[in-house]
Homo-oligomer: A and B are copies of this chain.
Amino acid sequence: MTQVAEVQGFTNSHDRYPTRIASGPSMLQRNEPAVWGKPADGPFDAAALAGHEARGFTIVDNVLGAGEVTSCREELDRLSRDPSMSDSGRVITERGTDEVRSVFDVHRRSDMVAALIRDGRILDRARQLLGSDVYIHQSRINSMPGFKGTGFYWHSDFETWHAEDGLPVPRAVSCSITLTENYPFNGSLMVMPGSHKRFVQCVGATPENNYTSSLVEQEVGVPRREDVTRMAAEFGIDQFTGAAGTALWFDSNVMHGSGNNITPYPRSNLFLVFNSVENTLVAPFAAPRPRPEYIASRDFTPLS
């Protein structure tokens, strides 16, 4: 990388997490904690924070009530059908069909989601985990249809956000809220507890406009099979299941993925990605240019 940007002390010339490399990838130790705040800073108590630091994720039941879940699903339907959303690239469909797979940038296109990211149930936890003010790096609804939904192969979000968006270090956290029941068998998220403490380097240069295909099926930024095998042996695999309205808070560097869904039960989740205002984006660490704003926001205004 000859490109050097400097924001808040991070420069691309000092890359702690090199990836998309030519060959010989390995696992690096992560330098930063997953939990930056203290028990007094928010709703998570000391045990919850310790668990989050160890596993890299925490499940909170009943974050949304049934009425809120219904409203969220109606928002998803509305946004999925909104021509300005699809025309602007914010709606991703499954390969070879017009079934909606993801809708991006929902916090700026839905008053309801805009309110939710500022709701104490959500925002207080994001701030506590990241130990600072926060803003939304990315928001999306993933909708895995029944019968033919395809999953997401194993990956670390941070690897992509670092390489393609210029997220300096893993001081970001995702809040995934179930909008339908997540069963073990309808493509629910699998997570490797503790995997957030390793950074798995990936092989292969990032193609121009990689996001236009990677959001359907990722081909670059994918860990090698031997690394997935090693991590599964070391950390095991857990699955995130629960009734609609359950939240999963997971560190940006947790290794996770999902299988397909042949059941009649669609699997929809709202994803809200919070980043610390002390970790705002610089130039991409391993991509020709940044991804669009609707995938990786450069509005770093703290939420309040």
Q: Which residue numbers of A lie inside 8 Å of B, CB to CB?
A: 146-147, 151, 153-154, 183-185, 187-188, 190, 225, 228-229, 232-233, 237, 239, 257-265
21 pairs, A vs B, C-beta closer than 8 Å:
A146-B225, A146-B229, A147-B225, A151-B260, A151-B262, A153-B262, A154-B262, A183-B237, A184-B185, A184-B239, A185-B188, A185-B190, A185-B239, A229-B264, A232-B263, A232-B264, A232-B265, A237-B263, A258-B262, A259-B262, A260-B260
A187 to B183, CA, bound (A): 14
Closest 9 CB pairs of A and B: A184-B184, A229-B264, A260-B260, A232-B264, A259-B259, A259-B260, A185-B190, A185-B239, A259-B262
Residues of B within 8 A of A183 (CB): 237
Asked if B259 contacts A187 (CB within 8 A), the reply is yes
Bound complex: CA of A211 vs CA of B147, how far in Å? 23
Query: Most chain-B Cβ atoms within 10 A of its Cβ — which of A147, A228, A259?
Result: A259
A229–B147 Cα distance when bound, in Å, is: 10
Partner of A259, one of B154, B261, B264: B261
Main secondary structure of the interface of A (DSSP, over half): loop
Q: How many angstroms between the C-alpha atoms of A82 and B150 in the bound complex?
A: 34
Q: How far is the CB of A194 from chain B (nearest CB, A)?
A: 16
Complex contacts, A229 vs chain B, CB 8 Å: 146, 264
In the complex, the answer to whether B185 meets A237 with C-beta atoms within 8 Å is yes
Instruction: List 18 additional contacts besides A151-B262, A184-B184, A257-B262; criterion CB under 8 Å.
Output: A151-B260, A154-B262, A183-B237, A184-B185, A184-B239, A185-B188, A185-B190, A185-B237, A185-B259, A187-B259, A190-B262, A190-B263, A225-B264, A232-B263, A232-B265, A258-B262, A259-B260, A260-B260
- Interface pair A228/B264, CB less than 8 Å apart: yes
Tell me, rounded to whole Å, the shortest Cβ–Cβ distance linking A154 to chain B: 7
A184 and B232 CA atoms in complex are apart in Å by 15
Contacting pair B228 A147 (CB below 8 A): yes
A228 CA / B261 CA spacing, docked (Å): 13
Question: How far apart are the CA atoms of A196 and B261 in the complex, in Å?
Answer: 22
Q: Which residues of B contact A263 (CB under 8 A)?
A: 190, 232, 237
User: What is the CA–CA distance of A198 and B154 in the complex, to the nearest angstrom?
Assistant: 38
